[in-house]
Structure formats: C-alpha cells, structure tokens
Amino acid sequence: METGISRRGLFGAGAAAAAILAGAPATARAASGLTLRWWGNNGWEVRIGPKTILIDPWPTRFKTGTYTSAGADPRTPLSVNRELIDGYLDRGLLRADHILVTHGHYDHLTDVPYLAQRTGATVLGTETHLSLMAALGAPEDQLAIATGGEDLTFDGYSIRVLRALHSATGTRARVAFPGTRTLSRRDRPRVIADLLEGGTLAYQVSGGGASVLDFGGSNYVESELAGLRPDVVLVPPGGAKVTEYVPRLLRALGNPRYVAATHWDDFDLPLGRAHDPNGGLEVLRKAVAAASPGSEFVVLDHLGEFTP
C-alpha cells in the first residue's frame, strides 16, 4: 500500500476507529451498521447485522493471462477451488443470505453456483447469468431473475438493482465475450469464453444506516443513477472510452463521501496481497481527487474491512 492511500484494510478498522486513531474531533460521524469486506476483484461482502450479502464472490482466482500482452486465453478451463471455499465457509469467514451477480464473465460468476449450493443464498442476476449458473449446477430454486429497476426489501436490508453497462476496451470499445442465452440447464460452460457477459447490472445495498453502490464493470447508465446518494460507491479503474467516466459518475451520485476502488487487482495471483497489474489504481485515485475532492478514496487489501 502506498502513502496517501487508506490502509484501514490492513488494520481491519472502520472509519470511526480510524478517526479515533488519527485523533479526529469528536464530531466525526459515528460508524454505520454496515461493514464491507473485499474478497479481491469485484468480490464484496456486505454485512448488515446478522445478514451477509455477497457481490461477485470469486475466491478461486485461476490463471487466465488476462493481464499479459496476449490477454486472457479463451480456452482456459473453468475450475472451482472447493477446498479453499470450504475452508472459508467452515471457519465461518464466508457466509451469504444473498449473492448478487453483476455479469456473466469468469471473474464474477464462476464460484457462485458452488457458493449458492453451500450457503443456500438467494442469487440475483439476468436471464443469461441464471442460465449459466443453472448449467453449472446452481440450485435452481435459489435463482431470482433481475433486469434492473428492482427495489427489493428483505429482513434488515434492501437491494436496488440498476441497469448498467460492461467495460468497453480497445480502440473499438468492444465488450469481451459478449452475448446472451435463454434459461437452460444444457450446454454446461467449460471454458472462460463460455461465460458470456449476458448484460451487466449494478447493485445498491442499503441497511444499518448506510448504503453501498457497486459497479462490476467500468461503465454505467447515468439515467439509472438519478437521485441515488450512496455513502460508498465501489468503482473499477478503466473507463478510458467512457465519456467523463469518473466525473460524470460522481456528479450523478452527488459526490459520495467514500469512493472505494474495486476490480483493480491482478486476479492471476491468489488471494493474499493485492497487486495492481497496470497502474490503474493510481489513475483512478487522481481522477477521483480531481472530480470530487471532498470524497475519501478507499483502497482495501484482500480481506480488508471498511465500515462507512
């Protein structure tokens, strides 16, 4: 972690605790009842009281070559590290009442069918996401379809689903592994190219007096954000082809108090110490500072926690 970047993930302390450590005045806002933990890539755990909501959990992190000059090998076989996941589940470090899927790609969806089976969690995603997960063996009665626009209330927390967009890269601003499929248990995905994007959703989770908004790709639908005022927004680096990617986003959200980086680490490496493969984190930090100087830029290490 570099100087100037929040290190609270390393200390496991929330905003209130960090403020006390820093000798902040007593007027500092009390910590909320919502705690975030980063599981690498766009994997987030949102804890609200006894409830846990996971977004795009992918502890397995197999090697694909994504960050090499050749890019990800589309024939990379899909695999789930059950031993690793069981270890977290059995020690009570990982649980879920809901699992929210932003899109179908391997670094977001691969572990969800097994996690759903082990936790009994309700899983939200588009028809394509649910189809891919059903074909991978997810318990079908736990799959709940979403299209964006849903505002759902559960015991102690609410989930707002937003239409969103996937990152578009290269000179032609193209989406990787694009496409959709209808609901089917057939055609089990075998390699990463089988996991189609299938539409992209963003999620705002609220409860415990706070709210967090997550984007699993570096793009968004601005009109979907009207009136949203999350305490924390989770933003991936990138967005080079998106007009005013960071300033337009933060303006639409009323300059959130916390902007936390997501999807910035090299996921060819196992969970441990997060490594930025291409300097995207620093570019994002500067863009946030320029667009919304009042926002605090938060960077967690793997399994680091943050309470807004």
Site residues for Zn ion per CB under 5 A: 105
CB of 102 to Zn ion, least distance (A): 8
| Contact (CB, 8 A) for 115 and 99 | yes
Q: Which is nearer to Zn ion, 161 or 165 (CB)?
A: 165
- CB-based contacts of 13: which residues, under 8 Å, 6+ apart? 21, 305
| Contact (CB, 8 A) for 271 and 39 | yes
Q: Which residue is associated with the tokens 């015991």?
A: 155
Crossing angle of helices 245-252 and 280-291, rounded to 10°:
50
CB of 227 to Zn ion, least distance (A): 27
Q: Which is nearer to Zn ion, 19 or 284 (CB)?
A: 284
CB of 226 to Zn ion, least distance (A): 25
Residue 307 burial by Cβ neighbours in a 10 Å radius (0-12, 13-18, 19+): buried
| Contact (CB, 8 A) for 72 and 62 | no
Q: Which is nearer to Zn ion, 88 or 264 (CB)?
A: 264
Q: Which residue is associated with the tokens 């589940």?
A: 89
Q: Which is nearer to Zn ion, 37 or 105 (CB)?
A: 105
Q: Which is nearer to Zn ion, 110 or 119 (CB)?
A: 110
Q: Which is nearer to Zn ion, 105 or 257 (CB)?
A: 105
Q: Which is nearer to Zn ion, 13 or 136 (CB)?
A: 136
CB of 215 to Zn ion, least distance (A): 11
Q: Which of 59, 44, 155 is nearest to 102 (CA)?
A: 44
CB of 242 to Zn ion, least distance (A): 14
CB of 238 to Zn ion, least distance (A): 11
Q: Which is nearer to Zn ion, 175 or 232 (CB)?
A: 175
Q: How many Cβ atoms from other residues are within 10 Å of residue 131's Cβ?
A: 25
**Rg of the chain over all Cα atoms, to the nearest angstrom:** 18
CB of 294 to Zn ion, least distance (A): 30
- Cα 91–97–101 angle (5° rounding)? 105
| Contact (CB, 8 A) for 99 and 57 | yes
List the structure tokens of 200: 């992209």
Q: Which residue of this chain has its Cβ atom nearest to Zn ion in the complex? A: 105
CB of 50 to Zn ion, least distance (A): 31
Residues facing residue 48 across a β-bridge: 34, 51
Q: Which helix (H) or strand (E) holds 50?
A: none
**CA–CA separation, 116 and 63 (whole Å):** 23
Which residue blocks in the chain are alpha helix, DSSP H? 8-11, 15-21, 82-90, 106-109, 112-119, 127-135, 245-252, 280-291
